[in-house]
Chains A and B, each alone.
Chain A
Amino acid sequence: MVNLTLCSFNTMIKHFTFILCFFVLTACNNENKASLSTKSIIYCSEGAPESFNPQTVTSGVTIDATSKQLYNQLIVLDSTTNSPIPSLAKSWHVTRDGKMITFYLRKNVSFHHTDFFKPTRFFNADDVLFSFNRIINQEHLFHHISGGNYPFFQSVEFSSLIDSIEKINDYTVRFKLTRADSSLLVNLATDFAIILSKEYAEQLIKQDAISQMDNSPIGTGPFKLKEYRTGSFIRYAPHPEYWNEKTALEQLIFDITPSDIGRLTKLLAGECDVIAYPIAHKKIAERSDLLLDDVTALNVGYMGFNTKNPPFDNKLVRKAVAHAINKQAILDTIYLDGAEEATTIIPNTSWAYNDSVPTIDYSITKAKKLLQRAGFEDGFTMDLWAMPVQRAYNPDAVTMAKLIQADLKKIGITVNIIKDYEWTTFLRLLAQGEHHAVLLGWSADHPDPDNFFTPLLSCASAATNSNRTFWCDKSYDNIIHQALQTTNIKQRKAFYLHALQQISAELPLFPIAHSKRFQARASNVKGKILNTYGGIDFSKVSKN
């Protein structure tokens, strides 16, 4: 009896050995994989998108993953001249008073054809109306489906700017404005101002599934969404009827890898073709099979203070902390050679930059004096939130937080670093104002300087959460409004100088660095991916 059962056990072992040998032997045959992999790009990204509709976010992670892959805007900015060029709109016309813009739309543009939606008509004026009315009209059925927040549009006060949007005929749309706004065209060219399908929305209403609109996206872009596994990967397939130059790829995959070491390992082991925000730049530059790309990005990394709650409702405390931070050490440790010191929120490549704005120097004695004046001579304890993903403007927020922790210890402030939340949770808690201070940043979506002043610090953006300092100053708001009502650069410069001086005096946030944006790729990946502003773009990428 014993032997009988044991015999079968022995044959079992033989089977296992056979299977194991099979595994090892079959692992050597890799020919077909090669054919699949030459037509696919795996991009190791740094975080998971919050939504598939860029209208509803300002987070760069989401913009990178969605905008230029899935959608098109009416117009886009030319990357060399920074002036608007046609996209879904073939041409446009602005009246002399600047209060009316007419767009003439492109014909025969088709939306994505997927398992869940089969379009029956081409893109037309109804889609444009739907996409923008959803934002400006609070009674619109789709306005509230993703929480009713359109942070970028709210921060530029889009709804009060647009009086109405009219359909002249199927391929002509007119925007009527309540006032002239010199930044409207560039705002419409940002990655946020994408065009959705009205026909898809109608189908969702019939199916009683309107909340799907932003999770199962339909656009006109070069890729369509095939599969998203939350927090793990996004799989895009090409859009075969794309109106512009079609992609050479068969698959585009975003492999979500929040750890920077993990991304580097995957690049070195050949599991990723392109990685976001690489570390060890020198190591990558040394290898002949890898390339390091960089682009001068319009951005700012900063430490924002929650001005709503003590102790940072007091500007003396904010200034004391700023004086105590050794910016040079941060630049040397965190950014290596990839950044310039930020003195204001505007990079010095922008025309609105002005070097006469007073800056904050590193001085422990000044910091101590200011703390004393504020009544905190014994110091206090604060929570410093360090963003859990890498961005160009802050490649390693946790280490930066540790440096600041050591700096502030010298003036008696104890810093608790909060870093363990996943990105979407992190943003949600920030919006609730649970932080004392936060290490964050902003990447410009277009070259107009208003894109720094308004979304970062205006009252409207404080209400809609893109302004994480909650600082709201009516006179500042007035200045940046006035700056938009003229197209005269000289006048606008004067307004922005005034705004910069006010920021410097009040210091709701402390600018740290303007950084280049980096990316690494295998050298067989061709085509431009990074842009000076806005999200990444895979439509022109190929592999050989």
Chain B
Amino acid sequence: MLIFTIRRLNLFIFTMLLLTILSFSLSFLFPGEQIINISGATNATAEQLELIALEYGKNSSIINQYWLYIQHLFNGELGLSITSQRSISHEILAQLPATIELTIVALLIAMLVGIPVGFLAAVNHRKLADNAILSFAMIGYSIPIFWLGLLAILTFSIQLGWLPSAGQLSLLYEIKQVTGIQFIDILLSESSYKWQAFQDASIHILLPACVIALAPATIFIRLARTAMMNVLDTHYIKAAMAKGLTFKQIIYRHAIRNAMVQVIRDIGLQFANLVTLAMVTEVIFSWPGIGRWLIESISQRDYTAIQGGLLALSAYIFLVHIFIDFIYAALNPLAREARYGSR
């Protein structure tokens, strides 16, 4: 397990290194002065600019410049936003938690719906239920998220009036921002309307999270279906059948658990896709997250914000990926030992 951890950490460090090289070179590739692109100091006087250039080692070798850039990153200095002149690291800290909250809830919904439905399809292999589920998965996967989001708002917010269409929480409730993750902030707050606020936050997150969850859920359906079918084909299931276990016992005690392991492995991969969907959804549902902020920055050509936002988002995706890898390894010592332990 130690070696496994070290390997993952290594991978993390190298990927982050590559990402910082990318974001560093972006400051050269974007139009305009590199030093302004990297620091965002658009309103600086000539003297101030010189000072900034010195800070970033503008006149030294490119390697040294990169090294100084990394140092700035480690100090949390991502520069100023070119359009608003606010600190990028503050902006990211303010926006990222909302995205984390939304993506995690969406991932949970996708898993809790997708995986059982996939198992159901496998158990009913080639029957009506299987075909129906597969066609649903195909449709769900092909619907463009923009359209789905608008359709959801039109139906559930405007026509039926069940769920709100925008934001994280009705502004009626005054919740102090501590962690940025709304549910935790509500539980920490001393508002007398705490539980109403909690319900309100729940109904606010429901619609965008479901919209994001649809496409990944359909993938989980297919993954779970294949995994379950593979497991049902194995010898130990046949042995269990021969022993006279009921079908229920076989599925609950043996099949589900072993199929889960295979599904979990692919969840990490799906997460990157899910975050991309979340970015678009944040725009549609005015979710105050980093995706919406990044898309706005792109349309305003706010280069420092684009660099910082990309770095933060990819680091987040990568961390979740590694976390899921750990869960997988923890659940499946076989994989862990076969790949890394026995060598």
Residues of A at under 8 Å CB distance from B? Answer: 1-3, 5-6, 9-10, 13, 16-17, 20, 23-24, 26-27, 29-30, 32-33, 36-37, 40, 42, 226-227, 230, 232-233, 235, 251, 253, 255, 257, 262, 265-266, 268-271, 420-422, 424-425
Cβ of B161 and Cβ of A262 under 8 Å apart?
Answer: no
Which chain A residues border B50 with CB–CB below 8 Å?
none
Which chain A residues border B86 with CB–CB below 8 Å?
230
Cβ of A16 and Cβ of B108 under 8 Å apart?
Answer: yes
Which chain B residues border A33 with CB–CB below 8 Å?
170, 172, 193, 196, 199-200
Interface membership of B157, Cβ < 8 A: yes
CB distance from A387 to the nearest CB of B (A): 15
Across the interface, B331 reaches (CB within 8 A) one of A5, A17, A421, namely A5
Interface membership of B234, Cβ < 8 A: no
Interface membership of B171, Cβ < 8 A: yes
Cβ of B174 and Cβ of A6 under 8 Å apart?
Answer: no
Which chain B residues border A29 with CB–CB below 8 Å?
199
Interface membership of B330, Cβ < 8 A: yes
Q: Please measure, in the bound complex, the distance between the C-alpha atom of A162 and the C-alpha atom of B161, giving whole angstroms.
A: 57
Cβ of B172 and Cβ of A27 under 8 Å apart?
Answer: no
Cβ of A420 and Cβ of B199 under 8 Å apart?
Answer: no
Interface membership of B45, Cβ < 8 A: no
Interface membership of B299, Cβ < 8 A: yes
Q: Please measure, in the bound complex, the distance between the C-alpha atom of A23 and the C-alpha atom of B206, giving whole angstroms.
A: 9
Across the interface, B172 reaches (CB within 8 A) one of A10, A253, A425, namely A253
Cβ of B193 and Cβ of A265 under 8 Å apart?
Answer: no
Cβ of A271 and Cβ of B166 under 8 Å apart?
Answer: yes
* Contact A2/B334 with A26-B199, A265-B157, A269-B161 known, Cβ cut-off 8 Å: yes
A5, A27, A269: most-surrounded residue (chain B CB, <10 A): A269
Cβ of B193 and Cβ of A268 under 8 Å apart?
Answer: no
Cβ of B171 and Cβ of A265 under 8 Å apart?
Answer: no
* Contact A27/B193 with A5-B330, A5-B331, A6-B260 known, Cβ cut-off 8 Å: no
Q: Please measure, in the bound complex, the distance between the C-alpha atom of A425 and the C-alpha atom of B173, giving whole angstroms.
A: 30
Which chain B residues border A257 with CB–CB below 8 Å?
166, 286
Cβ of A3 and Cβ of B257 under 8 Å apart?
Answer: yes
Give per-residue flags for B143-173: 1 if the beta carbon is below 8 A from chain A beta carbons, else 0: 0000000000100011001001111001111
Across the interface, B171 reaches (CB within 8 A) one of A10, A32, A235, namely A235
Interface membership of B26, Cβ < 8 A: no
Cβ of B333 and Cβ of A2 under 8 Å apart?
Answer: yes
Q: Please measure, in the bound complex, the distance between the C-alpha atom of A9 and the C-alpha atom of B332, giving whole angstroms.
A: 12
Nearest-neighbor residue (CB-CB) of A33 within chain B: B196
Across the interface, A227 reaches (CB within 8 A) one of B158, B174, B196, B334, namely B174
Nearest-neighbor residue (CB-CB) of A253 within chain B: B171
Interface membership of B112, Cβ < 8 A: yes
Nearest-neighbor residue (CB-CB) of B288 within chain A: A232
Cβ of B171 and Cβ of A233 under 8 Å apart?
Answer: yes
Interface membership of B195, Cβ < 8 A: yes
A6, A40, A257: most-surrounded residue (chain B CB, <10 A): A6
Question: Which 9 residue pairs of A and B lie closest in terms of their CB atoms, listed nearest first?
Answer: A269-B157, A6-B257, A23-B202, A253-B171, A269-B165, A268-B158, A33-B196, A420-B299, A26-B199
Q: Please measure, in the bound complex, the distance between the C-alpha atom of A17 and the C-alpha atom of B166, giving whole angstroms.
A: 26
* Contact A271/B112 with A235-B174, A262-B286 known, Cβ cut-off 8 Å: no
Q: Please measure, in the bound complex, the distance between the C-alpha atom of A270 and the C-alpha atom of B163, giving whole angstroms.
A: 10
Interface membership of B83, Cβ < 8 A: yes
Which chain B residues border A23 with CB–CB below 8 Å?
202, 206
26 contacts between A and B (CB under 8 A): A2-B258, A2-B333, A2-B334, A3-B257, A5-B331, A6-B257, A6-B331, A9-B331, A13-B112, A26-B195, A26-B199, A26-B202, A27-B203, A32-B193, A33-B172, A33-B193, A36-B193, A36-B196, A40-B172, A42-B170, A42-B172, A251-B172, A253-B172, A266-B166, A269-B166, A425-B84
Which chain A residues border B64 with CB–CB below 8 Å?
none
Which chain A residues border B230 with CB–CB below 8 Å?
none
Which chain A residues border B198 with CB–CB below 8 Å?
26
Which chain A residues border B202 with CB–CB below 8 Å?
23-24, 26-27
Which chain B residues border A421 with CB–CB below 8 Å?
83, 300
Given contacts A2-B334, A271-B166, A420-B299, 4 further A-B contacts (CB under 8 A): A5-B331, A26-B198, A37-B172, A235-B171
CB distance from A3 to the nearest CB of B (A): 7
Cβ of A420 and Cβ of B200 under 8 Å apart?
Answer: no
CB distance from A41 to the nearest CB of B (A): 10
Q: Please measure, in the bound complex, the distance between the C-alpha atom of A233 and the C-alpha atom of B300, giving whole angstroms.
A: 21
Across the interface, A271 reaches (CB within 8 A) one of B167, B173, B193, B196, namely B167
Cβ of B200 and Cβ of A265 under 8 Å apart?
Answer: no
Give per-residue flags for B73-86: 1 if the beta carbon is below 8 A from chain A beta carbons, else 0: 00000000001101
Cβ of A266 and Cβ of B165 under 8 Å apart?
Answer: yes
Cβ of A422 and Cβ of B300 under 8 Å apart?
Answer: yes
Across the interface, B157 reaches (CB within 8 A) one of A230, A235, A268, namely A268
Give per-residue flags for B181-207: 1 if the beta carbon is below 8 A from chain A beta carbons, else 0: 000000000000101101110110010
Nearest-neighbor residue (CB-CB) of B202 within chain A: A23
* Contact A20/B196 with A270-B161, A420-B300 known, Cβ cut-off 8 Å: no
B84, B170, B258, B301: most-surrounded residue (chain A CB, <10 A): B170
Across the interface, A269 reaches (CB within 8 A) one of B84, B164, B296, B330, namely B164
Which chain B residues border A17 with CB–CB below 8 Å?
112
Nearest-neighbor residue (CB-CB) of A36 within chain B: B172
Which chain A residues border B193 with CB–CB below 8 Å?
32-33, 36
Which chain B residues border A30 with CB–CB below 8 Å?
196, 199
CB distance from B113 to the nearest CB of A (A): 10
Which chain A residues border B206 with CB–CB below 8 Å?
23, 27
- Mark out the residues of chain B between 248 and 279 whose CB falls within 8 Å of any chain A CB in the assembled complex: 257-258, 260-261
Q: Please measure, in the bound complex, the distance between the C-alpha atom of A37 and the C-alpha atom of B161, giving whole angstroms.
A: 16
Which chain B residues border A425 with CB–CB below 8 Å?
83-84, 300
CB distance from A450 to the nearest CB of B (A): 34
Which chain B residues border A32 with CB–CB below 8 Å?
193, 196
Cβ of A20 and Cβ of B83 under 8 Å apart?
Answer: no
CB distance from A424 to the nearest CB of B (A): 8
Which chain A residues border B174 with CB–CB below 8 Å?
226-227, 235, 251
Across the interface, A255 reaches (CB within 8 A) one of B84, B171, B299, B330, namely B171
CB distance from A518 to the nearest CB of B (A): 20
Which chain A residues border B299 with CB–CB below 8 Å?
420
CB distance from B293 to the nearest CB of A (A): 10
Which chain B residues border A42 with CB–CB below 8 Å?
170-172
Which chain B residues border A24 with CB–CB below 8 Å?
202
Cβ of A16 and Cβ of B200 under 8 Å apart?
Answer: no
Which chain B residues border A230 with CB–CB below 8 Å?
86
Which chain B residues border A5 with CB–CB below 8 Å?
330-331
Which chain A residues border B170 with CB–CB below 8 Å?
33, 42, 271
Which chain B residues border A40 with CB–CB below 8 Å?
172
Which chain A residues border B157 with CB–CB below 8 Å?
265, 268-269
Q: Please measure, in the bound complex, the distance between the C-alpha atom of A421 and the C-alpha atom of B257, giving whole angstroms.
A: 53
* Contact A262/B333 with A29-B199, A420-B299 known, Cβ cut-off 8 Å: no
Nearest-neighbor residue (CB-CB) of A39 within chain B: B172
CB distance from B297 to the nearest CB of A (A): 10
